[in-house]
Structure 1
Amino acid sequence: MGTELIRAELAHPQVYSVVAELDGRVVGSNFLDERSSVVGVGPLTIDPAVQNRGVGRRLMQDVLERATERAAPGIRLMQSGYHTRSFSLYASMGFEFRETVACMQGPAMSREVPGYTVREATEADLGRCDELCRQVHGFDRGGEVADSLGQGTARVVEHQGRITGYATDLAFFAHAVAETNPSLQALIASAPSFGGPGILVPASNSALLQWGLANGLKVVQLLSLMTTGLYNEPAGAYLPSILF
């Protein structure tokens, strides 16, 4: 799974990739997703044999310099809650903690939310998806939505004749945006499964978190959303990806 993930990152024209070498062998890597104006860092990986020797800091400095060259207004990443050293590294490099995120996994709910209809997204929906993301976050993630359309995983939810939310997938590496919790719940409830370790639910959205628990999902790990530069408090419901 790790090899497939890195292969996809290396092959994508809008993902910047960098490796660290020591004595002729690769001992670490880092990536910068540039599919939207706000860029996302990761995954950052370090060979355990060379941890605590500054390799991670060098790799982070490289992608931050890349973001500065691109004049990216904001940079984001998702940090594993158990890994205190990486939290310290990111904080020391200017990243601010924004949100605790719960990774949730469990059986598919296989049901509908009354009044909400979920369907496969089409290219005609791209403009509305971008509009929703700008409404909630202040910027769009159109590149990711376009990729998910090509992969056949994008979904939208309609309420009273309007698109009120979308998801690039219901999975660890996907994100979702909606005007309200019921729209987001309809997307989650209709998913046939939750890809990878699970979906990421902001812990501050207590109503959504408790709804997930009541419908059979369990929290399997906690992560920290960290940012530097532009950050707007979300004005709606959302699920981040492991990227941000």
Structure 2
Amino acid sequence: MNLVLRPGRADDAADCGRICFEAFAGIAREHAFPPSVPSPEAATGVVEMMLNHPGIYSVVAERDGEIMGSNFLDERSPVVGVGPVTVAPGAQNGGVGRRLMQDVMQRAAERHAPGIRLLQSGYHSRSFALYAGLGFEFRETMACMQGPPIGGMVPGYEVRPATDADLEACNQVCRRVHGIDRGGEVADALKSGTARVTVHDERITGYATDLSFFAHAVGESTEDIRALIASAPAFGGPGILIPARDSALLQWALRNGLKVSELMSLMTIGLYNEPAGAYLPSVFY
């Protein structure tokens, strides 16, 4: 029977979560890497959150009533982020992933999103080829890093919890660095209480929605990002993503006990500006 694509539903969480875990764990095992998702329960929790979030679009692929895979598009900010796109191991290499990608790309086009971005595991050459073949351009390599809290402070850079009154200042920092803002994600982080800002010379010069795999940070300078990392009590999920080209930040993190678990590729379609500052992407971008 033909593959059918439909919107995701809340009751898809268990099946899509299981497939998400099996897909990521399988490809990681093939390359002797630890899975980025530690368990089916953890994957289901992530998928359930995304299926129920009003700012995230979801699509599910079915064949004969059986779920074959899913994909998501984070629409909380003007530039949209793809993923996770996952396909059941038994259905891989049959065009399901391509259909799921084409669906979210069409969704982005219909919404006139200025750009689409994603991160993919560097060891997964098939997914790299798929995305490149669909028009995504490689931008840079990210190092996923995990380890014990660093602690300490960066002189001249105060880190404090963000408040609702800081939202526009955070958006301004992001616009200065990236040319766009990610206000929807910052607003979510303010609601959950995970957002924090750096203050330098009596003004906000950086922020983080959290220090984790699913969060991002932006700063006018590397010192802003160092201060945010140093203040974190832990690094959520597989860890934080540090641009490998930022040698000063990467080497500082290594000296302070963080270790690289894998390398990931940032890929984009449409609007992209070379960063005019420092940043940590989320796994979306």
Same fold (TM over 0.5): yes
For residues 1-244 of structure 1, what are the structure 2 equivalents within 5 Å?
1-244=42-285
Tell me the CA shift for residue 22 of structure 1. Answer: 1.3
* Superposed CA offset, 1:85-123 (max 9, x none): 000000000000001000000000121111111000000
Tell me the CA shift for residue 160 of structure 1. Answer: 1.5
The SS at the match of 1:82 is: coil
* Superposed CA offset, 1:33-83 (max 9, x none): 001110000000100101100000000000000000001110000011111
* Superposed CA offset, 1:162-199 (max 9, x none): 11100000000000000001111000000000000000
Letter in 2 for 1:137: H
CA RMSD of aligned residues (A): 0.5
Mapped partners of 1:40, 1:92: distance in 2: 18
The SS at the match of 2:44 is: helix
* Superposed CA offset, 1:184-225 (max 9, x none): 100000000000000000001111000100111000111000
User: What is the number of equivalent residue pairs in this alignment?
Assistant: 244
Alignment TM-score, normalising by the size of structure 2 = 0.85
Please, which runs of 5 or more residues in structure 2 have no aligned partner?
A: 1-41
2:11 maps to none
Letter in 1 for 2:156: G
* Superposed CA offset, 1:18-44 (max 9, x none): 000012110100000001110000000
Letter in 2 for 1:101: M
Q: Which runs of 4+ in 1 moved over 3 A?
A: none
Q: Which has the higher contact order (CA 8 A, sep 6+)?
A: 1
